[in-house]
A and B are shown apart, each in its own frame.
Chain A
Amino acid sequence: MKKKIFLSGLLGMLAVGGIIIAADHIDAPAVTGPGSTSPGNDITDVYAFQSPADNSKMVFVVNTQGLLSPGASAAASFPSNVMYEFNIDNTGDNMEDLVIQCLVQNGKMRVYGPVAPAATGLNSTVRVNGPVTEVAVTPYGAAAINSATNANGTKIFAGPRDDPFFFDLARFKMIIAGSASSFNNPGSDTFAGTNVMSIVVEVPKSLLGSASTINVWAETKSK
């Protein structure tokens, strides 16, 4: 009985929620749909955590271009017309008070900020007068190239990494489709063996304001 209610709930969700694909892997049809020329815009996951190596620092991660096979990873790159932007609200109104802007051109990533944005919202201009950190993009197959810690305490990385996300997405899709009623045990990680294009930025907490809690999100913007 319960199961039945549940399945109909799930089927209802199909109608309401549309087709379910992944975490947020491939949730942006405008930039991942057929014929899209901007795969670099699709964010798969965002992380924000205290540095395990230094508790005075916060780490921000934005991953893009999900489900890259090892074979496809060498050719993957960060488009030069895309800005990867971390947004930080430290006043509790869900509007960005600080941004960290990441640009990749000619094999290098430059990271501007944390700095107040020129304006909040959907459009961004580069805050060139803020602090800047630079690093070479790590090529596929090479050891990670980390920037030196900048004078403002910032450290950055850009390049392919193992996708840290794990989920039995295939089974979940079967449940949604009505061809299974529960997860398997053990499950099977749909993202095993796949890579993402990753940007990691570590900054001193002291650059993020004095709030006890901040709100963080990532955006991709292009021109």
Chain B
Amino acid sequence: MIRFNKISLSLIAALSLFAASCDKNDTPTDNFDTSGTYIQNDQMARPAVNTVFVNSARKNEFNTTVPSAMNAAFNAQFQSVLTAFGYTQNALGQDKPTFAGLLVTDVLNVKMNGTTTFFDGTNVLTGRTLADDVIDTELLLIFGGPTGASNPGLTKDNVNANDKAFLNTFPYLASPF
């Protein structure tokens, strides 16, 4: 692994040298301050996780906990929120500890080949694209019970798309209002 990193680093270094020599636009021309140490304030991957599952007193703590340490620090809290929701099992067949364990490590799992989506009816947690109705997915998994049919008034918010069309070309997000 270390060897692989070294090789790719030297490749990258060679590429950026190439860039510097052949493309004026890529060559930093003015002073850009890159000094010092940047200290973490906020962290996020999956939508609404911190907001819904972490109590106010610990929100900052969650934002400054590295993902690999989140399960140990917050699993019990996530389970207690699910208990308060009346949660038993979701449509993925996950019991409370399993679902809490999935949610608590706040990273987006992203598939490197194929469809990248939060949930599209077939693929589950393979990324997050702009049009994904992530809130309905989360509401369904939290409130929908083992079949997804429980609490129909709470499993979707009936806002199914953004208010502006996304672009098919970079930067993909719609222009501002």
Contact = CB atoms under 8 A, between A and B. Distances in A.
Given A5-B86, A28-B63, A219 B43 contact: yes
Contact of B18 (A61, A115, A121, A151): A151
Contact of A223 (B39, B45, B134): B39
B38 A222 contact: yes
Given A13-B85, A95-B66, A28 B42 contact: yes
B92 interface: no
Interface residues of A, number: 127
Q: Chain B: interface residue count, which band?
A: 35 or more
A18 B110 contact: no
Given A28-B63, A29-B56, A94-B68, A155 B39 contact: no
Interface string B109-144: 111111111000000001111110111000000010
Contacts of B169: 53
Contacts of A216: 45, 107-108, 110
Contacts, number: 341
Interface of B: 1, 5, 8-9, 12-13, 15-16, 18-19, 22-23, 25-26, 28, 30, 32-45, 47-57, 59-60, 63-64, 66-68, 77, 80-81, 83-86, 105-117, 126-131, 133-135, 143, 150-154, 156-164, 166, 168-177
Given A31-B41, A151-B15, 8 more contacts: A13-B52, A27-B54, A29-B56, A41-B41, A61-B130, A122-B39, A132-B16, A164-B130
A181 interface: yes
A212 B126 CA distance: 11
Given A43-B44, A49-B127, A194-B177, A91 B1 contact: yes
Q: 5 smallest A-B Cβ distances: which pairs?
A: A182-B153, A151-B19, A12-B84, A221-B38, A18-B56
Contacts of B177: 70, 73, 162, 193-195
Contacts of A194: 177
B157 A105 contact: no
Contact of A183 (B50, B57, B158): B158
A17 B55 contact: yes
A110 B81 contact: no
Nearest to B106: A217
Contact of B42 (A41, A115, A168): A41
A133 to B, nearest CB: 7
A27 B59 contact: yes
A151 B159 contact: no
A177 interface: no
Contacts of A172: 157
